[in-house]
Amino acid sequence: MNLKLVEKVLIGFIIGSAIPVVLGVFSLITLINLDDMNKEIIENKAPVIKIADDLIDTLLAQELYGSRFLLSGKNDMRLLFRQRNIEFGKLIAEANNLPGEINPLLGKIAALHLEYNELFSKRFSLIENPSVEEIKEMDNDILKKQESILSLINQLSAQTMVEHNKKGLLIAHSVDRAFIITVILCSLGIVVGIIATTLITKNISCSIDKLKFAARRMAEGQFDHVPQISQRDELWELATEFKYMGSRLRQLEALHLDASPLTKLPGGIAIENVLEARLKEKKPTTFCLIDLDNFKAYNDHYGYSQGSELIKATAAIIGEVVTRLGEMSDFVGHIGGDDFAIITNPKYNKKIGMAIIDHFDNMVPDFYEPADRERGFIIGKTRQGETARFPFVSLSIAAVSNERRKIENHIEIGEIAAELKEAAKNIQGSSYVEDRRTQEVMAS
């Protein structure tokens, strides 16, 4: 029994090979059938459902940019409207190119969308010489056309989901049938190979128990545990791989926690997940995007180490203020670099933002040398390489809330916050900018 594990298994296989061969052939045929059904789900049904969701998002985004153009008259909004139109067409083409039979609803959706674009084009032409009655009638036509498109897309999604579920049920029935037949064949195989199996398992059970214990310890978070196996077979080789697996598990755990190594605050993935969850639950939510102004000049002047200390001090101020002035469900995250995020209730965001600015502005002079503190600025290089004066590092805080208008997802709220942050950065010194635009204004 000092053979290699593969040789031990080969002996048992030879003894009880007849029925396992039959079982293998049956399993292979079953797997091929299941694979064919699964491919149809993966390559056709699931993509159609995903495309249907994307069509809805694209259509709503197109309507949003069209409304913004009618409100502001800015050509960049009209360009975004056209880009969404192109994306809609690409999604239809992608759905038509999927394997399998083309769904006739796709052609109807494409035709209605063409009419929808024509209505918007006519509406755009009235922006310079509007007629109240004509505009009202045309807006109603656009809304009805949009509702018709959304209805067809939802019908497409529902129809595909029904087909998807039918395939899934068929797979489940096939698995049940295969399970019963497999149990019968395995039972016969057990009878034939029980003696050989007993002899082999007695020899290797000790090593397996050690591997099971090591796996349990790693599942509990003790990634440094390595099983000690004396027999120089494949199980011994597997045991030596546990050390590498433990190291990888530590890395994956750190990635899962998504914490910044500098501030220990949750990172971008955690921020997106928390924000998306609150928006889906329709909770009153404010997203505050915080950025350090003039930080690059400070980092270049004083060095990476001192810059890291300023980042950590900023994180501490944000955390302390949110804990003191916010509520238990508030969330603080470190997007990366000198960017932070706060997710709070609209009742608290302004109070929190102003308190953070007050604490930060009182703290930041301590991070400058006395001579620089007395001057009130440092000398550094711009991104173009020119020498310039840089004021003390300050904060720009942009706050976006779903209190006054509906916000669909974290991407939309992030885009609005980024736009506001750029406006805040144009204000000298630390600044707090809040989005006060309402849903009615944005849709008119």
Domain ranges of the chain: 1-246, 268-443
The helix-helix angle for 46-72 and 75-96 (nearest 10°) equals 160
Q: Which of 44-48, 252-256, 352-356, 404-408 has the lowest mean pLDDT?
A: 252-256
- pLDDT value of position 253: 64
Tokens of 30: 């079953």
- pLDDT value of position 254: 53
pTM for the whole structure:
0.45
For domain 268-443, give its CATH number from 2.20.130.10, 1.10.3720.10, 3.30.470.20, 3.30.70.270: 3.30.70.270
Are 151 and 112 in contact by the 8 Å Cβ rule? The answer is no
Average pLDDT of the chain is 82
Between 384 and 80, the more confident residue is 80
- pLDDT value of position 5: 63
Annotate 300-335 with b (16+ C-beta within 10 A) or e (fewer): ebbeeeebeebbbbbbebbbebbeebbeeebbbbbb
Alpha-carbon dihedral 345, 351, 357, 363, rounded to 10 degrees = -110
The residues, any chain, with a CB within 8 Å of residue 194's CB and separated by 6 or more, are none
Taking residues 67-74, report their average pLDDT: 84
Say if residue 426's pLDDT is above 90.
Answer: no
Is there a shared CATH topology between the 1-246 domain and the 268-443 domain? Answer: no
How far apart CA 109 and CA 98 sit, in angstroms, is: 16
Q: Among 101-105, 233-237, 426-430, which range has the highest average pLDDT? A: 426-430
Between 231 and 63, the more confident residue is 63
The residues, any chain, with a CB within 8 Å of residue 138's CB and separated by 6 or more, are 119, 122, 123, 126
CATH 1.10.3720.10 assigned to 1-246:
no
How far apart CA 359 and CA 363 sit, in angstroms, is: 6
Q: How far apart are the first and last CA of the chain?
A: 83
Are 191 and 169 in contact by the 8 Å Cβ rule? The answer is no
Say if residue 204's pLDDT is above 60.
Answer: yes
- pLDDT value of position 443: 31
pLDDT tens-digit series, residues 287-305: 999 999 999 999 999 999 9
Count of all residues that appear for the chain in the document? 444
- pLDDT value of position 442: 37
- Biggest CA–CA distance in the chain, Å, is 95
Are 219 and 211 in contact by the 8 Å Cβ rule? The answer is no
In the beta sheet, which residues pair with residue 29? Answer: none
Q: What are the C-alpha distances in Å from 438 to residues 140, 209, 405?
A: 21, 64, 5
Phi first, then psi, for residue 220 (nearest 5°) are -85, 0
Q: Which of 277-281, 317-321, 375-379, 382-386 has the lowest mean pLDDT?
A: 382-386
pLDDT confidence tier of residue 444, bands split at 50, 70 and 90: very low
